[in-house]
Amino acid sequence: MTTARSAAVGELIAGRYRLLQELGAGAMGSVWRAFDERLERRVAVKRVLPSVGTQLDSDVRDRVLREGRIAARLQHPHAVAVFDVVEDGGLPVLVMEYLPSTSLAEVLLERGPLPVGEVAAIGAQIAAALAAAHAAGVVHRDIKPGNILLAEDGAKITDFGIAHAAGDATITATGVVAGTPAYLPPETVHGRRPVPKSDVYSLGATLYTAVEGVTPFGRDLENPYAVLYRIAAGEMRPPSQAGPLTPVLTAMLARTPADRPSAEEACDALRAIVDCRAFPLTARLPRPRHRLLASIAAGLAALAVLAYVLVDKPAVGTPPSPPPAVVASAPSAAQLEKAVADYYALLPARPGDAWQRLSAAGQAQGADAYRQYWATVTRLAVTTAPRAEGGTVTAGLTLTLTDGSTVRETHRIVLDGLLLGADTLVTSERTAAAAAPVTVTEVRAAPAPHPVEAAPPPAEKVEHGKKGGKGKGRNG
């Protein structure tokens, strides 16, 4: 077991990579801009770290190193290149292409739904990279808006296989949902290993979200298990704003891999939309076999694997009953604490990804207010580790603001499943930034005849980026 340690500017990794600037931190670790002193070039260094308050298992470390070496096989203009995989203090370190960019998740948070042509162009570039990866024997397994980077020279996919190797999967071995499951293919929900066309499905879900402004399975973020059930049952909302993208997205989001196009076929179809020409995608798809029986079997398999409900086989001739409600066991205290710690690890660098970890109640203040608040924070440190009592988690934070001041806060967060909901600010203490000395002319005034001691303010309700009714607050 290896415990995380802090990195510092100027530190030399593996005898050649000099750390220059921390670019961001998330649930999987921190990313630094660095300089390769041997080859004299800029690189990005990703230190894969355990979650807050935990240690990195040796098996996880070995998987990250192995997946990094596999990802290094891929060289494509629309994939962030992995140059090297090394160890630093027992922790895996990935050395990658340095790419000044913005994630698709951040762009969607700022701009909302994107035009069809722009989404098709992004999709074609990412599908081309996936086709090259699949030809090299690499399956990404974690396609989502946060893993698509938008730069001056186009879109690029990052983190090939790394998130899965590091345990950042959406469903754990015990069936617990971690994060947003909206981009999972049905076969993963069923407990089967991802295949190349699993990436096609996840890319289809990502492009659907980009053009529609909502995932294929709606805005119901309060119950991740319900989202998993809708994925397993194929209950996709038909796109309403996708226009010519509609048949392509529908094909990419087919429930069974055999009914989906390959990444190369999806790339051709998306490029045809960009070029405003016809492309008979459906003619190139395998003919679905026994679709009704496959759909019924898929729904039953999902329920069995996830162990949410027991389904009795209906008698012959009995009309089919409606799908049973999904019943999920409550997350443990450790799982709640990890959900809060992982959320804080995304901030302030990745508000787009952090936003996806909020429940509907947590998102009530709106994406704009949330993004505007976190733009005023330059650093967040967890000073008191999250501690769960029932469905509530308490944690202490220290925030550094853009004006140089610091704020020490204690938050009490109510969770819906593993998504963060209502947030109460229990304590808050602000330390102003040091000011330059000034000359003050003394002005004497008569003292107040009856000074009155002010009553302490009551605890405030915070909604992840909006405090009370005064505009800005935080859920650290």
Phi, psi of 43 (to 5 degrees): -140, 165
Phi, psi of 148 (to 5 degrees): -115, 120
Report the distance separating Cα 37 and Cα 47, nearest Å. 18
Domain covering 333-433+455-462 assigned CATH 3.10.450 in the classification:
yes
Among the ranges given (66-80, 83-97, 238-252, 300-314), the one the predictor scored with the smallest mean pLDDT: 300-314
Q: Which residues contact 270 (CB under 8 A, 6 or more apart)?
A: 120, 121, 123, 124, 127, 248
Helix (H, G, I), strand (E, B) or coil at 98: coil
The more confident residue out of 68 and 9 is: 9
Locate CATH 3.10.450 in the chain. Answer: 333-433+455-462
The more confident residue out of 298 and 78 is: 78
142 flagged as catalytic: yes
For residues 66-81, give the mean pLDDT.
82
Q: Is residue 116 within 8 Å of residue 142, measured between CB atoms?
A: no
Locate CATH 1.10.510.10 in the chain. Answer: 102-306
Report the distance separating Cα 252 and Cα 267, nearest Å. 11
pTM of the model: 0.58
Confidence grade of residue 196 (pLDDT, cut at 50, 70, 90): very high
Mean pLDDT rounded to a whole number for the chain: 75
Span 270-290, pLDDT tens digits: 999 988 765 555 434 433 333
CATH number, span 102-306: 1.10.510.10
Distance of CA 78 to the CA centre of its chain: 20
Topology (CATH level 3) of domain 2-97: Phosphorylase Kinase; domain 1 (3.30.200)
Q: Which residues are annotated as a binding site for ATP?
A: 46
Residue 205 has pLDDT above 90, yes or no: yes
Locate CATH 3.30.200.20 in the chain. Answer: 2-97
Helix (H, G, I), strand (E, B) or coil at 27: coil
Phi, psi of 44 (to 5 degrees): -110, 130
Span 245-275, pLDDT tens digits: 999 999 999 989 999 999 999 999 999 998 8
CB count, 10 Å around CB of 420? 26
Judged on CB neighbours under 10 Å (0-12, 13-18, 19+), 460 is middle
Span 162-181, pLDDT tens digits: 645 444 444 444 444 433 57
Confidence grade of residue 399 (pLDDT, cut at 50, 70, 90): very high
Q: Is residue 166 within 8 Å of residue 213, measured between CB atoms?
A: no
Could you tell me which residues are beta bridge partners of residue 462?
Answer: 423, 467
Cα→Cα distances 263→128, 193, 220, 444, Å: 7, 18, 29, 78
Residue 121 has pLDDT above 90, yes or no: yes
Which of the residues 36, 84, 142, 416 is marked catalytic? Answer: 142
